[in-house]
Amino acid sequence: MTQFLTLLKYELMNVLRGKWLFLYALMFSGIAYSIGHLGGDTMKAALSLMNLVILVTPIVSILYASIYWYNADGFTTLLLTQPLRRWGIFVSRWIAIALTLSLCFVAGTALPFFIQQTLTGPLVTLLLLGTALTFAFTSIGLLISVLFNDRMKGIGAAFLLWFYFSIVHDGLVFSQWSFFANTPSKTHLWSLLPPTLSTWFASCSL
Amino acid sequence: MKIEIQNLRKKFGSREVLKGLSLNIEPGAVSGLVGPNACGKTTLIKCILGLTIPTSGEILVGGKSIHREWDYRRKIGYMPQNPNFPPNLTFIDLLEMLEDLRNEDRSKSCEELVDIFGLRECLDKPFSTMSGGTKQKCAAVAAFMFDPDILILDEPSVGLDPVAALKLKELVLQSVNKGKSVLLVSHIMTEVEQLVQRMVFLLEGEAAFSGNVDQLREQTGEDKLENAIVKMMLSRKPERAFEIIGHHQRMGSQ
C-alpha cells in the first residue's frame, strides 16, 4: 500500500505540473461565470451546464488519458523495470489523471457559483456527474492506449468511442424507447442503459 | 548473479521471435548480446525484465524462476536505449522516486555517479529541458545507483559524449570486478571489443554462437572482431560476407 501511495504521489506531481490543465479549469470557470451571470435560477444554469459537461468532460478525459499514456511510454517502461506490482502502476496512473481532471472541473465550475453563493443541490449533482464521467472516460482512454501501440490509431479509437458513448449510444437508447413506446414491456432496453445511466439519473434529479 | 535462459520461445501472432533460446549470463563478466536488427535482442531483454511474457520456456535469476515474480527486479539495473522520463519531473525527483519506490537508500556512490557524469547542475532541471545525451547520463545514474547484482545495458553509449562514454565503460568494468553480471547490447564494435568477455550471437531468434570472444575469432577464422561478427551475421549468406570483408580490407589498405 505504501508503494502504491508513493507511485500515486509521483504520478500526481507529474500530472499537476502540466500547465494546460489549468486552462481546462479556467474554461469551466469562464463558462460557469457567464451562465451564472446571465441570470435565471440555479436549475436552469445547471441544465445549461449539463449539456456542456456531458460532451466536454468525456472527450477531454478520454483524449488526455490516451495522450498522457503515449507520452509516458518510456516512464512506464522505467516503472515496469522496478520491483513494483503492475496493477499499482496502472491504477495509480488512472487515479492521478482522473483525480486531477476532476479537481480542475469541480474547482473551475464551482468557483463562480461559490462566489455568488448559488452553489446548491442541482449544481452539486452536476459536479458529481462530471466527476463520474471523468473517471469512467479516463479509464476507457487508458484501456485504448494499452490496446493500441500505434498512437494515431489509439487516439482515433478514443475519439470514435467518445462519439459513440456521448452521441450515438444516447440516440440509440432514445430511438428504441420511442419505437417501443406502446409496448407494455421495455425491460430489454435496460441492457442499453448503463453508459447513459449517470446522464439519465442526473436528468431525473434535476 | 547468474541468469539462466532455458528453451525460451516468444511468438507475436504467427511470427516467432525467439525460437527455443537457451543460454547463461555468468556473473563476473560482461556478456555481449550481438546480432542483426530484429533478431530478438530487445525481446530477450524484455523477457528478462518481465516486460514481455514468454510463450514458453523459463528464465531463472539467481536460481529462481521469474514467472509471475516482481521483486527480483530489485537486483537489476536497466539502462534503456532511448530513456524517456516524465517531462515535468526533475532529475532529483526521479532519484527520490526510485529511492521511495524501492524503499531502500541509494548507495553512497549515487552522489559520486552524479558528479562522474557532471549532472550536479541538472538536479533541479525538469526532463523536458534536457537533451537526449543528458537524459542518457541520468539513465546511467538510475541504473547504477542501487549497486545492483545484474546490469542490463541496451546500447548505452548511443547519444553519450566521448567523456561520458569512457566513464561509463570504467563503471562497467568496476562492476564486473565486483562480480556483477553485465548484459550489454551494442552495435559499436570498439565498445564490444573493449568490454565483452563472453559473446552471445543471436540470429533469427536462435543463439548462433555462445562463448568467449577468442572462440568466436577461432570459429570464424577472422582476427578482427568486426569481421568475425560480419561473417557470423551473414553466415547464412557466406558469399555476401566474403564480399563485405574483402571490400572493407581493400578500403583499409588504401
Query: B140 and B150 share a domain?
Result: yes
Query: How much is the pLDDT for B247?
Result: 65
Query: B242 and B132 share a domain?
Result: no
Model confidence pLDDT, tens digit, residues A101-145: 999 999 998 888 788 777 778 888 889 999 999 999 999 999 999
Q: Taking residues A82-89, report their average pLDDT.
A: 88
Distance from CA of A167 to the nearest CA of B (A): 34
CATH code for position B95: 3.40.50.300
Q: Is the pLDDT of residue A13 over 50?
A: yes
List chain B residues with CB under 8 Å of A72: 84, 86
Give yes or no for a contact between B32 and B210, defined as CB atoms under 8 angstroms apart.
Answer: no
Query: B247 and B194 share a domain?
Result: no
What the block records as the C-alpha cell of A149 is 501501440
Query: How much is the pLDDT for B171?
Result: 92
Query: B164 and B194 share a domain?
Result: yes
Query: B67 and B185 share a domain?
Result: yes
What the block records as the C-alpha cell of B75 is 537486483
Query: B166 and B253 share a domain?
Result: no
Query: How much is the pLDDT for B86?
Result: 82
Instruction: Report angle CA A175, A180, A183 to the nearest 5 degrees.
Output: 170
Query: B76 and B112 share a domain?
Result: yes
Query: B203 and B238 share a domain?
Result: no
Q: Is the pLDDT of residue B108 over 80?
A: no
Averaging pLDDT over each range in A13-22, A42-51, B180-189, B241-250, which range is the top one? B180-189
CA-based nearest residue in chain A for residue B79: A78
Q: Which residues contact B25 (CB under 8 A, 6 or more apart)?
A: B2, B3, B4, B5, B31, B150, B181, B183
Provide the H-helix boundaries in chain A.
2-16, 20-37, 42-71, 73-80, 86-115, 121-147, 151-163, 169-179, 197-205
The answer to whether the Cβ–Cβ distance between A13 and B80 falls below 8 Å is no
Query: B214 and B233 share a domain?
Result: no
CA-based nearest residue in chain B for residue A4: B101
Model confidence pLDDT, tens digit, residues B132-147: 899 999 999 999 998 8
Range of the domain at B57: 3-220
List chain B residues with CB under 8 Å of A74: 80, 82-85
Of B82, B101, B126, the CB nearest to A82: B101
Model confidence pLDDT, tens digit, residues B191-205: 888 888 888 888 888
Q: Is the pLDDT of residue A170 over 50?
A: yes
Query: B206 and B232 share a domain?
Result: no
Q: Could you give phi then psi for residue B76, rounded to 5 degrees?
A: -115, 135
List chain A residues with CB under 8 Å of B72: 83
Query: How much is the pLDDT for A205?
Result: 45
Number of domains in chain B: 2
- ipTM value > 0.90: no
Q: Taking residues A11-34, report their average pLDDT.
A: 86
List chain B residues with CB under 8 Å of A10: 86, 89, 93, 97, 100
Model confidence pLDDT, tens digit, residues A42-66: 777 788 888 888 889 999 999 999 9
List chain A residues with CB under 8 Å of B73: 81-84
Indicate the range of A3-12, A19-28, A172-181 predicted with least confidence. A172-181
Query: B73 and B132 share a domain?
Result: yes
Of A10, A15, A71, the CB nearest to B97: A10
Query: How much is the pLDDT for B240?
Result: 58
For chain B, give the mean pLDDT. Answer: 85
The answer to whether the Cβ–Cβ distance between B93 and A10 falls below 8 Å is yes
Query: B118 and B203 share a domain?
Result: yes
